[in-house]
Chains A and B, each alone.
Chain A
Amino acid sequence: MSITRKTAVVGIGETPTDRLGGKPGEPRKSTAEYLAWAARLAMEDAGLTKKDFDGQGLAAIYTTNHSQPFWPEEVAAILGITPAVSLAGGNGGASSVSLLGHAAAAITAGLCDLVLVIAAAAPFSEHGGHRGATADTRDYEMPFGVMGPNCKISFVMSRYMHESGMTEEHFGKIAVTGRYHASLNPNAYLRKPITIEDYKKSRLISDPIRLLDCVLPANGGKAYIMTSAERAKSMRKPPVYLLGWGECNNASVGPRYRANPLITGITQAGKRAFEMSGVSHKDIRCLNLYDDYIPIVMIQIEDLGFCGRNDKGFFEKTDFTFKGDLPIQTSGGMINCGQPSTTGGMLHVIETVRQIRGEAGARQVPNIKFGISTGVGAVNYGKNFGCTAAAILGNEA
């Protein structure tokens, strides 16, 4: 039994992102408020109410400051619903894409016929909470002054530049494209267009990572709703079907004690998604790739097989804008729309749904039928991502 073409996304909800609480005296909102808000928006979009979710599926994503083991139940309590199938997202930033497959499996198996997938976080408004480092980070990175993901991804970027010969021009082009799309997205947070010169002049945080390579932490909530392909036909919005899906955790190219960090689990997750979908690369018109950092977007384009390894020429000649050869990051990405902890990655599911529905306004990709979304999470010691997932969505079952 395959999950391909058996389910569809029929509702999306996205609160505005903000950074309230970052400065003294600013008003604050709690995670619970963003959760309730995102759920309401997704239900309105789908033409459903809370009552429809009693006895159905709820998938709650753990965030960095809410990782207590009963989080899915607490989310149900916050939302005031009584689920019959409880799923959880424990793959960090990959969770939103992972849960497309897990929710589809639950629906296809007949456990339920609706799943609400939801996440929210308010790191600026709710200080403290649990942000535990792994033992490896605590014992073998922090004592040497490793400054979290900025530093760890700079190891990846530095090696990537060494092996590929990519320069600031290549990274800058991706940053400029993302901001251009953000300038056309009313939901984006950073909307003022930038130039490659702006990118090059942005300050170095951890060489070669610059400020404009980095994701923007934020508060916010997001949700999507899935149902069976059958039920989707009678819903308010055009169904966006799950055609292909793949996940890969603990990938290691080469020995585990010395893995190649320039090839991620997206290689395997993406291959599974393409095989399941039967869709070819040339028919994918929109790539919404997890973007904690600019070089990670480029490595995933390679991982997914849209170009070869270290293919500088491809990055130079391709127009990545929404009207171009291979549109990427059409929402502007988390780098410009904000990353409310592990909620951030849901942006890339929501944007692919918007594009396929034809709801993307000024940044609408013309003639789009198929798009791909990815998620990654956990930057492991001496290597790259621990969690990866990819999903291909389309307008026909």
Chain B
Amino acid sequence: MAETAKEISKPLPEITPVNQPFWDGARAGKLMMQKCADCGTWVFCPRPVCGDCSSATLNWLQLSGKGKIFSFTVIREVVGHALRGFAPDIPYVTAWIDLDEGPRFCSNIIGCPVDKVKIDMDVQVVFEDGGNGVTLPKFKPR
């Protein structure tokens, strides 16, 4: 039986002991990231040890969710079988967002026409249901 676009699921993260606080936080409406207790650097994506000083003491902290668009693209085509669930959303924006506290985060810009998205635009996190109990932090202009 042919599958319809509606039936095709999008890929979801694999929740692991290392990244679970991030995804638990998102479900509770909080953007959480790790900061090294020893050298003070932010660590993202989630890691068991600090990528700078190798400390295993990393604290989870809540971020403001405010940031600026560092760069972005408008997705015009599906590339790869695993991502065909995004076909109905095209065109949509993926962006690198530089969060006010420091880390760079990759997400979608929503609530804004694709041709109005600009580099350096101020954005704010919003939380969107991704299905299967996963909440995805996305961003809208502020």
- Which of A54-62, A155-163, A174-182, A184-192 participates in binding chain B? A155-163
| Complex Cα–Cα for A204 and B90 (A) | 13
A-B residue pairs, 3 tightest by C-beta? A139-B13, A154-B73, A159-B71
Given A143-B12, A148-B80, 17 further pairs, Cβ under 8 A: A136-B45, A138-B11, A141-B106, A142-B82, A143-B10, A144-B106, A146-B94, A155-B70, A158-B72, A158-B73, A203-B76, A207-B74, A209-B73, A258-B98, A258-B103, A258-B104, A382-B96
| Complex Cα–Cα for A138 and B11 (A) | 8
Report chain B residues within 8 Å CB of A206.
73-77
| Complex Cα–Cα for A203 and B77 (A) | 10
Contacting residues of chain A (114-167) with chain B, CB-CB under 8 angstroms: 135-136, 138-148, 150-151, 154-156, 158-159, 162
B43 within 8 A of A: yes
CB–CB B76/A255 < 8 A: no
Report chain B residues within 8 Å CB of A136.
45
Contacting residues of chain B (41-81) with chain A, CB-CB under 8 angstroms: 41-45, 51-52, 70-80
Interface residues on B, range: 35 or more
CB–CB B42/A255 < 8 A: yes
Smallest distance from the beta carbon of A226 to chain B beta carbons, Å? 35
A205 within 8 A of B: yes
| Complex Cα–Cα for A145 and B10 (A) | 8
Report chain A residues within 8 Å CB of B74.
204, 206-207
A381 within 8 A of B: yes
Instruction: Choose one: B13, B52, B86, B102; the contact of A145 (CB below 8 Å).
Output: B86
CB–CB B41/A207 < 8 A: no
A256 within 8 A of B: yes
CB–CB A255/B96 < 8 A: no
| Complex Cα–Cα for A154 and B104 (A) | 16
Report chain A residues within 8 Å CB of B10.
143, 145
CB–CB A138/B94 < 8 A: no
| Complex Cα–Cα for A147 and B78 (A) | 7
A70 within 8 A of B: no
Smallest distance from the beta carbon of B46 to chain A beta carbons, Å? 8
- Report A's interface with B, CB cutoff 8 A: 135-136, 138-148, 150-151, 154-156, 158-159, 162, 203-209, 255-258, 261, 381-383
Given contacts A139-B45, A141-B106, contact A155 B73 (CB under 8 A): yes
CB–CB A142/B79 < 8 A: no
- Report B's interface with A, CB cutoff 8 A: 10-14, 16, 19, 41-45, 51-52, 70-80, 82-83, 86, 89, 92, 94-96, 98, 102-108, 119, 130, 134, 136, 138
| Complex Cα–Cα for A257 and B94 (A) | 18
CB–CB B19/A147 < 8 A: no
Report chain B residues within 8 Å CB of A138.
11, 13-14
CB–CB A257/B12 < 8 A: no
Smallest distance from the beta carbon of A338 to chain B beta carbons, Å? 17
CB–CB B51/A256 < 8 A: yes
| Complex Cα–Cα for A209 and B71 (A) | 13
Smallest distance from the beta carbon of B41 to chain A beta carbons, Å? 7
Given contacts A146-B94, A381-B45, contact A151 B75 (CB under 8 A): yes
Smallest distance from the beta carbon of A31 to chain B beta carbons, Å? 21
| Complex Cα–Cα for A145 and B82 (A) | 10
CB–CB B41/A256 < 8 A: yes
Most chain B CB neighbours (cut-off 10 Å) among A141, A144, A146, A205: A144
CB–CB B83/A257 < 8 A: no
CB–CB A257/B43 < 8 A: yes
Report chain A residues within 8 Å CB of B73.
151, 154-155, 158, 206-209
Instruction: Choose one: A139, A147, A154, A209; the contact of B80 (CB below 8 Å).
Output: A147
| Complex Cα–Cα for A162 and B72 (A) | 11
Smallest distance from the beta carbon of A98 to chain B beta carbons, Å? 22
Most chain A CB neighbours (cut-off 10 Å) among B76, B89, B119, B136: B76
| Complex Cα–Cα for A257 and B61 (A) | 15
| Complex Cα–Cα for A150 and B73 (A) | 10
Smallest distance from the beta carbon of B2 to chain A beta carbons, Å? 18
Instruction: Choose one: A156, A258, A261; the contact of B102 (CB below 8 Å).
Output: A258
Kindly report which residue of chain A lies nearest to residue B92, judged by CB atoms.
A145
Given contacts A151-B75, A382-B106, contact A144 B41 (CB under 8 A): no
| Complex Cα–Cα for A203 and B76 (A) | 9
Kindly report which residue of chain A lies nearest to residue B118, judged by CB atoms.
A162
